[in-house]
């Protein structure tokens, strides 16, 4: 997910051009993107639904199993997949959806430059009618739902109409731990931020590396910043800032408190020695080889062996001043229906199926984090994965999802990565980091007018 998310930011500079292409291309009318008459009564005639997606490897096997389940339920409907890598799908999606013979369903990316562009250009269908039919807006946590909403003109994100639905799989940022190191130091798995900070001090005193971290790469280094931000900012304020809703300022999102806490940890010697010269991959490798008790990381980024899954675990810490759980997370894939689809009812039925409990269980069976559903059976021999599922379901229960913070502007990832490096080098203060983010945000808002 991290790589996909970072590419989101890098292509955002092309937004004005993409918008122009969308608005001028044939069929590119936002008004045409709403399906007026919808139904669950599907045709019994043979139907082929063409789907464009980027699920490859083991993820592709999960999708194939999901399709097989849907086709068994609807034997007259065939789902025909075209699979390409993420970059190919994103770079060609606008033109493919303009083609009358293009895909009925496609994976789309969150944010202004993908989903917003396609909504404004009338490339993807307004799914409100199907949402009412299937109850999607009642089933999807509203903090997650906002990631899939745009106004029909594509100018406001996080509000308006639904333009995509999630698969029953999620991707998060949270805190991993090595239980063997904690046990050796006589430290219980922390349940709160206070517990966590006490554990850091104990580990430092015991000669252990408390947090495995390297800050050379600006993009991956921000997993730490955004995770800690989630311990201080409310889901509403972080969401409103990212979606440009209301008058939330950068300083209202918990970012200043997060930067202050991270600087305190750095000054206390809680990070890997020489972390400012340590590459992301090297810090990750050190954590995987027992050189670090904790690591803030994206789910799915750590290649655990079967043996390591017995001793590593995952926590979604509650907020600093409450028991509420807030965390950065999103669906592992979003699916939209083309406005040119000749079989939108069948396509919508498939979208609904991909968000159901059966496909969530298929995800869990293959070691992927689920979304939207509880009461799933996790493998009894994989306690690490069970801890990730527990963290994800805590976010479900608390309606605590927040979007990736760098979605707020095309350049926020670069800005925050730079400022975090300056902060840790003692060349910027937490307030200066916040001010730089606010300046970036205001420049983007001015460009939208």
Contact partners, residue 227, CB within 8 Å, separation at least 6? 173, 174, 175, 296, 327, 328
Residues 6+ apart with CB under 8 A from 375: 357
Query: Model confidence at 212, in pLDDT bands (50, 70, 90)?
Result: very high
Checking if the pLDDT of 362 tops 50, the result is yes
DSSP annotation string for 226-279: HHHHTTTS-HHHHHHHHTT-TT--GGGTTHHHHHHHHHHHHHTT-BPTTGGG--
What is d(CA 415, CA 429) in angstroms, rounded to the nearest whole number? 14
Q: How far apart are CA 294 and CA 296, in angstroms?
A: 7
Q: Which of the 8 DSSP states describes residue 114?
A: I
Longest Cα–Cα distance of the chain, Å, equals: 70
Whether pLDDT at 449 is above 90: no
Give 77-111 pLDDT, tens digit per residue: 999 999 999 889 988 999 999 999 999 999 998 88
380 contacts 96 by C-beta, under 8 angstroms: no
Instruction: Report the CATH number of the 2-169+332-377 domain.
Output: 3.40.190.10
Residue 397 has pLDDT above 70, yes or no: yes
Residue with tokens 């479900």: 396
Q: Which two tokens stand for residue 123?
A: 């490339």
- Are the C-beta atoms of residues 192 and 323 closer than 8 Å to each other? no
pLDDT of residue 33: 53
pTM of the model: 0.85
20: pLDDT confidence band, cut at 50, 70 and 90? very low
- Tell me the average pLDDT across 296-310: 93
- Residue 25: its pLDDT value, please? 32
Q: What is the CATH number of domain 172-329+403-448?
A: 3.40.190.10
Beta-carbon-side half-sphere exposure of residue 119 (alpha carbons within 13 Å): 30
Residue pointed to by tokens 């086709």? 71
Mean pLDDT across the chain: 89
Most confident of 45-54, 151-160, 358-367: 45-54
In terms of DSSP H, where are the helices of 99-164? Answer: 117-120, 128-134, 136-139, 142-145
The 10s digit of each residue's pLDDT in 326-348 is 999 999 889 999 999 999 999 99
Q: What percentage of the chain reaches a pLDDT higher than 70?
A: 92
Check pLDDT > 70 for residue 408.
Answer: yes
Q: What residue ranges do the domains of the chain occupy?
A: 2-169+332-377, 172-329+403-448
Return the ∠ at Cα 328 (arms to 352 and 296), rounded to 5°.
130
CA of residue 110 relative to chain centroid, distance: 9
């Amino acid at each position: 997910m991290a790589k996909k998310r970072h590419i989101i930011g890098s292509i955002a500079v092309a937004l004005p051009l993409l918008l122009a292409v969308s608005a001028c291309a044939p069929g590119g009318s936002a008004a045409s993107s709403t399906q007026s008459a919808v139904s669950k009564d599907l045709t019994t005639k043979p139907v082929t639904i063409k789907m464009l997606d980027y699920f490859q490897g083991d993820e592709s096997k999960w999708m194939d199993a999901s399709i097989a389940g849907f086709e068994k339920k609807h034997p007259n409907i065939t789902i025909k997949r075209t699979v390409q890598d993420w970059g190919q799908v994103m770079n060609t999606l606008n033109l493919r959806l303009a083609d009358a013979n293009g895909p009925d369903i496609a994976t789309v990316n969150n944010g202004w430059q993908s989903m917003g562009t396609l909504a404004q250009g009338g490339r993807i269908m307004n799914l409100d009618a199907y949402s009412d039919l299937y109850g999607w807006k009642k089933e999807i946590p509203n903090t997650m739902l906002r990631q899939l909403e745009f106004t029909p003109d594509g100018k406001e994100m996080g509000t308006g109409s639904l333009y995509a639905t999630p698969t029953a799989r999620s991707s998060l940022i949270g805190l991993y731990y090595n239980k063997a190191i904690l046990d050796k130091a006589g430290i219980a798995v922390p349940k709160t931020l206070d517990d966590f900070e006490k554990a850091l001090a104990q580990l430092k005193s015991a000669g252990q590396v408390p947090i495995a971290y390297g800050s050379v790469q600006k993009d991956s280094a921000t997993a730490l910043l955004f995770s800690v931000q989630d311990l201080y900012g409310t889901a509403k304020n972080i969401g409103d800032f990212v979606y440009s809703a209301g008058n939330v300022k950068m300083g209202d999102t918990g970012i200043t408190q997060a930067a202050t806490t991270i600087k305190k940890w750095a000054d206390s010697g809680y990070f890997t020695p020489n972390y400012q010269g340590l590459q992301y991959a090297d810090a990750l490798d050190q954590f995987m080889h027992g050189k670090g008790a904790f690591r803030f990381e994206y789910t799915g980024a750590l290649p655990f062996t079967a043996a390591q899954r017995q001793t590593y675990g995952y926590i979604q810490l509650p907020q600093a001043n409450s028991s509420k759980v807030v965390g950065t997370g999103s669906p592992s894939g979003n699916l939209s229906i083309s406005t040119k689809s000749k079989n939108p009812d069948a396509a919508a039925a498939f979208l609904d199926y991909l968000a159901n409990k059966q496909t969530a269980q298929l995800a869990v069976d293959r070691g992927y984090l689920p979304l939207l559903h509880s009461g799933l059976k996790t493998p009894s021999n994989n306690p690490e994965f069970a801890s990730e599922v527990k963290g994800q379901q805590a976010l479900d229960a608390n309606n605590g999802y927040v979007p990736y913070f760098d979605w707020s502007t095309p350049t926020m990832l670069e800005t925050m990565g730079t400022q975090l490096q300056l902060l840790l080098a003692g060349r910027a203060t937490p307030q200066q980091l916040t001010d730089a983010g606010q300046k970036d945000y205001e420049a983007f808002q001015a460009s939208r007018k």
